[in-house]
Amino acid sequence: MENFIAKVSEINGVINGFAWGPLMLLLLVGTGVYLTVRVKWLQVTHFGRILKNTIGTLFGKKDAKDHGANIPAFHAVTTALAGTVGTGNIAGVTGAIFTGGAGAVFWMWVAAFFGMVTKYAEILLAMKYRVKDKDGRYHGGPMYYIENGIGKSWKWLAVVFALLGGLATFGIGNIAQSNEIAGAMNDLFHIPALASGIIIAVIAALVTLGGIKRIGAVTSLLVPFMSVFYIIAGIILIIMRIGDIPAAFGQIFAGAFSLKSVGGGIFGYTIMMAMRQGFARGVFSNEAGLGSAPIAHAASSTEEPCEQAIWGVFEVFIDTIVICSITAMAVILSGVLNTDGGLDAFASKGAAAAAAFNTILPGTFGGLIIELSLLFFALSTILSWAYYGENCWGYLTNNNKAVVTIYKIIFSLVCIVGAVGSGTLMWDIADTLNGLMAIPNLIALLMLSGVVTSVTKEYFSKNMLK
């Protein structure tokens, strides 16, 4: 068994080297830069109006209209946010800083800045090229805007995305999350990993078998609660170390542009590691460029593509610029980076984050916050990615209900595998699948950039953002 795991790890390492190599990073960030220029820096020039028409609408009158077989815009957003705000915001960011240094945080911000427009473009295209099934439900995402936007001759690329996306749901959306939940459940309540896996599987089955309406209803309650809970804790933590904030930022910027070699290695190795970790963790966290979130947004009853797409800017902002930055500041301000042995000194990335919070907050309160956050973040991610997988496998089988139901059952059972499996290998496999599924999506975004530009120009020229 050990030899098998070692072989799997070796093969995954080779594929991962390609999926997250220089060309992939260039494609990821380059697509965001290109789209940003084409839509005239939308995330800057219209940021205030975007916030007003996203989070600002939550304080107005409740949307009580009948959405038929589909879901309200906010439920689509919380479903997508549930998929993006996951263990990557805590464990992923912590691991990135330990591996790539504090400078990784800066490159994570860069990836998020341009990723705001990448996700905006994904959602816009998903809304424009979505289809409606015989039950009146919308289906959309990269596979649909590749086939219906680029053309039928490119359906093979749509199939590649759907296949990679369907497989990735078992990694980023299931195994990696279940593993973190099991660790949190053991630390909080001393529940064995197997028992945790069974509990997760039952919850996943009960919610996902109810379809997008049930998933949206659950995430609309879970996501606001868990996000506000973590943000408030982070604000308290930062206030308690407010005097060290300038030094922390200095550490981040110095690490981001350090050209020194490490251990006699290649000149500039430090900056390369910081960039790789920052970009990879940023994408793992906010999913801009993966093509996953637009699948949830396409289920919205909203008719205007840009109205739903601007939520993508908000999603990346709240996920990475706010929540991931809180984790990063905790790790840097606490000084756990100087722990002998580095990340190996802790049981897991989550344990390292808990140690950071415990160092600053009184008693073991900080660790409790991390464990609870990991629990809720990971659970919500599982629910959302189950829906992404449902649509990927549905696309591949012409929305065969029997196949989709079998997928949901298998997905739920895999939660048990994730709970008892090896955390490190699970994260590595999830990381590889992420990189691979992004490739066909980014190609499609570049080929359809003209559509994004024209639809955006028409929408904003009509001043529809009131």
* DSSP result, 302-362: ---HHHHHHHHHHHHIIIIIIIIHHHHHHHHHHTGGGSTTGGGGSSSHHHHHHHHHHHHSS
Task: Return the closest-CA partner of residue 94 out of 270, 287, 417, 333.
Answer: 333
What pLDDT does 59 receive? Answer: 56
Task: Encode pLDDT of 405-463 as tens digits.
Answer: 999 999 999 999 888 876 567 667 767 877 888 899 999 999 999 999 999 999 988 86
Judge if pTM exceeds 0.85: yes
User: Distances from the Cα of 140 to the Cαs of 68, 147, 314, 320, 387, in angstroms?
Assistant: 17, 11, 20, 25, 12
Task: Encode pLDDT of 12-50 as tens digits.
Answer: 888 888 877 777 877 888 999 999 999 999 999 988 888
| Residue 122 identity | E
What is the C-alpha R_g of the chain?
21
User: How many Å apart are CA 248 and CA 255, to the nearest integer?
Assistant: 11
Residue with tokens 């991610």: 381
What pLDDT does 266 receive? Answer: 47
The whole-number average pLDDT for the span 105-122 is 94
52 or 394, higher pLDDT: 394
Task: Encode pLDDT of 189-204 as tens digits.
Answer: 888 999 999 999 999 9
Q: Domain ranges for the chain, please list them.
A: 69-461
Which CATH number describes the domain made up of 69-461?
1.20.1740.10
Which tokens sit at 244?
């060290």
